[in-house]
Amino acid sequence: MQATALTHLNIWDGQKHLDADCIVLMDGHIAHVGAAADAPAGATVIACQGATALPGLTDAHVHMELDPNHRQAPKETDLGQRPHMEERAKAMVCAGITTARDLGGGAWLELALRDRINAGETPGPRLLCAGQPITSPRGHCHFWGGEAEDAAAARTVIDRQVAHGVDLIKVMATGGTMTAGTTPMDAQFDLETLRAIVGAAAEHDLPVAAHCHGTAGIDFAAQAGVRTIEHCSWVGPQGWASDYNEEVALRILERGVWVSPTVNRGWQRMLDAKDPTRLHRLRHAYGRLWDLGVPFVASTDAGIPGVFHHHLPEALNVFAKIAALTPSQTLQTATSGAARALGLEQITGRLAEGFAADVLLVDGDPTVALDALTRPVGVWARGVPVVMP
What is the predicted pLDDT for the residue at 77? 86
With contact defined as beta carbons under 8 Å apart, do 389 and 378 qualify? yes
Provide the residue-wise pLDDT of the chain in tens; the chain has 389 residues: 789 999 999 999 999 999 999 999 999 999 999 999 999 999 999 999 989 999 999 999 999 999 999 988 788 888 899 999 999 999 999 999 999 999 999 999 999 999 999 999 999 999 999 999 999 999 999 999 999 999 999 999 999 999 999 999 999 999 999 898 999 999 999 999 999 999 999 999 999 999 999 999 999 999 999 999 999 999 999 999 999 999 999 999 999 999 999 999 999 999 999 999 999 999 999 999 999 999 999 999 999 999 999 999 999 999 999 999 999 999 999 999 999 999 999 999 999 999 999 999 999 999 999 999 999 999 999 999 999 99
With contact defined as beta carbons under 8 Å apart, do 49 and 90 qualify? no
* Distance of alpha carbon 89 from alpha carbon 288, whole angstroms: 35
What is the predicted pLDDT for the residue at 50? 87
Count Cα atoms within 13 angstroms, Cβ side, for 353.
7
* Backbone φ, ψ for residue 9 (5° rounding): -105, 155
Whether the model pTM is above 0.95:
yes
What is the predicted pLDDT for the residue at 244? 98
What is the predicted pLDDT for the residue at 73? 78
- Paired with 169 in beta bridges are 208
* Other residues' Cβ atoms within 10 Å of the Cβ of residue 156: 12
* Backbone φ, ψ for residue 211 (5° rounding): -70, 120
What is the predicted pLDDT for the residue at 108? 98
What is the predicted pLDDT for the residue at 298? 98
* Other residues' Cβ atoms within 10 Å of the Cβ of residue 138: 12
What is the predicted pLDDT for the residue at 210? 98
What is the predicted pLDDT for the residue at 301? 98
* Distance of alpha carbon 154 from alpha carbon 200, whole angstroms: 9
* Other residues' Cβ atoms within 10 Å of the Cβ of residue 275: 8
What is the predicted pLDDT for the residue at 178? 86
Domains of the chain: 4-55+350-387 (2.30.40.10), 57-341 (3.20.20.140)
* Distance of alpha carbon 173 from alpha carbon 51, whole angstroms: 43
* Other residues' Cβ atoms within 10 Å of the Cβ of residue 388: 10
| Residues whose CB falls within 8 Å of the CB of residue 351, separated by 6 or more in sequence, listed in order | 11, 12, 13, 14, 18, 23, 30, 33, 53, 54, 55, 359
